[in-house]
C-alpha cells in the first residue's frame, strides 16, 4: 500500500475544502438553518408531534442526511471530474499508484468532508431544538456508511460525466427529489397505504429511517433492513468502481 500517494490525494482534496470554505461548509449550514426556521415555524405550528417527538426535533436526522447525501456526491464527483477536465488524470493513472489507492484518497476525502459537515449541522440543530441521541455509536455508523457510500456514488458520477451539465444532472434530478420524498420531513407511516408502498421503493427511505432510529428509536422500517440496504448499495458502488478501473471506462479515452 502506497500510503504517501493516498495521503497526497487526500490532503490535496481536503485543502480544496479550506480554500472554498464558504461554499463547502458555510453555505450548507446556512441552508439547513433556513430549513429549521421555515419548516419548524410553518409546519411545526400545525404538526406538533410525530411519533411522540416534536416536529422540529423529528426533522433533524432527515436534514443531516439531506446534506450528507448531496455533499458526498458533489465533493467526490467534482474531485475526480476536474482532473479529467484539465487532463491531469493521465498523470495520476501513469503514476505508481494502484486504483484502490486512488479511490481511497478521493473517496476518503469526500467522505471526511461530509462527516464533518454532518456533525456541524448536528451542532447547529442543537441551537434550535433539544437533541438527544439514544444510540450515538449507531448514529456514527450510519453517518459514516452513508458518507462513504454516496462518496463512491459521486466518484462514479464524476467518471461518467463528460460535461458539467451531466455532473449536476443526477444529483439535482434524481438524488435530491428522492431525499425529499424519502421521509426527511415526515414519517412514511403518515402516508396512505398505497403511497407508503410506493415510497418504500425509494432506497433513501432506509437510510433516513435507520439514522432517525439512532436518535429516537423510531423508524419507518426495521433497523436491520436499513443497515442491509445501506451495505447493499455500498457493495454495488464498489463493484461499479472496480469495473470502471478494470475496463478503463471514460478514463482511457
DSSP per-residue string spanning 190-204: GS-HHHHHHHTT-HH
DSSP at 106: H
At 50, phi and psi to the nearest 5? -130, 115
pLDDT of residue 127: 82
Q: What is the per-residue pLDDT across 158-191, written as a single tens digit (0 to 9) for each?
A: 999 888 888 888 888 888 888 888 888 888 887 7
DSSP at 4: H
Nearest to 229 by CA among 202, 208, 209, 203: 203
At 53, phi and psi to the nearest 5? -115, 135
In a domain? residue 252: no
Q: Which domain holds residue 205?
A: 3-247
pLDDT of residue 246: 87
Q: What CA–CA distance (Å, rounded) separates 90 from 109?
A: 20
Domain count, the chain: 1
DSSP per-residue string spanning 68-84: HHHHHHHHHHHHHHHHH
Q: What is the per-residue pLDDT across 39-83, written as a single tens digit (0 to 9) for each?
A: 766 666 666 677 778 887 888 898 899 889 988 998 899 989 988
Which residues touch 2 (CB under 8 Å, ≥6 apart)? 96, 97, 98, 101
The per-residue pLDDT of the chain, averaged, comes to 86
pLDDT of residue 40: 64
Whether pLDDT at 149 is above 90: yes
In a domain? residue 253: no
CB 118 within 8 A of CB 158: no
pLDDT-based confidence at residue 15 (cuts at 50, 70, 90): confident
Helical spans, DSSP H, in 126-202: 136-160, 164-170, 176-180, 193-199
In a domain? residue 126: yes
DSSP at 27: H
More confident residue, 140 or 171: 140
At 49, phi and psi to the nearest 5? -140, 150
C-alpha cell at 196: 407508503
Q: What is the per-residue pLDDT across 199-246, written as a single tens digit (0 to 9) for each?
A: 888 889 999 999 999 999 888 888 999 999 999 999 999 999 999 988
pLDDT of residue 32: 75
In a domain? residue 140: yes
In a domain? residue 106: yes
Amino acid at each position: 500500500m502506497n500510503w504517501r500517494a493516498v495521503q497526497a490525494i487526500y490532503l490535496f482534496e481536503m485543502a480544496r475544502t479550506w480554500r472554498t470554505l464558504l461554499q463547502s461548509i458555510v453555505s450548507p449550514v446556512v441552508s439547513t438553518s433556513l430549513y429549521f426556521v421555515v419548516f419548524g415555524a410553518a409546519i411545526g405550528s400545525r404538526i406538533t408531534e410525530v411519533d411522540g417527538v416534536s416536529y422540529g426535533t423529528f426533522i433533524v436526522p432527515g436534514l443531516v442526511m439531506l446534506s450528507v447525501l448531496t455533499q458526498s456526491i458533489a465533493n467526490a464527483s467534482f474531485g475526480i471530474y476536474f482532473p479529467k477536465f484539465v487532463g491531469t488524470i493521465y498523470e495520476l493513472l501513469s503514476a505508481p499508484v494502484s486504483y484502490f489507492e486512488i479511490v481511497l484518497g478521493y473517496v476518503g476525502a469526500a467522505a471526511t468532508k461530509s462527516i464533518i459537515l454532518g456533525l456541524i449541522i448536528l451542532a447547529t440543530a442543537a441551537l434550535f431544538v433539544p437533541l438527544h441521541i439514544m444510540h450515538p455509536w449507531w448514529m456514527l455508523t450510519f453517518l459514516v456508511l452513508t458518507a462513504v457510500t454516496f462518496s463512491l456514488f459521486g466518484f462514479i458520477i464524476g467518471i461518467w460525466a463528460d460535461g458539467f451539465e451531466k455532473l449536476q444532472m443526477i444529483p439535482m434530478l434524481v438524488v435530491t427529489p428522492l431525499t425529499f420524498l424519502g421521509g426527511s420531513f415526515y414519517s412514511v407511516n403518515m402516508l396512505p397505504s398505497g403511497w407508503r408502498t410506493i415510497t418504500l421503493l425509494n432506497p433513501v427511505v432506509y437510510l433516513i429511517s435507520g439514522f432517525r432510529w439512532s436518535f429516537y428509536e423510531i423508524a419507518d422500517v426495521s433497523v436491520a433492513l436499513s443497515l442491509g440496504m445501506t451495505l447493499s448499495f455500498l457493495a454495488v458502488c464498489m463493484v461499479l468502481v472496480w469495473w470502471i478501473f478494470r475496463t478503463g471506462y471514460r478514463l482511457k479515452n
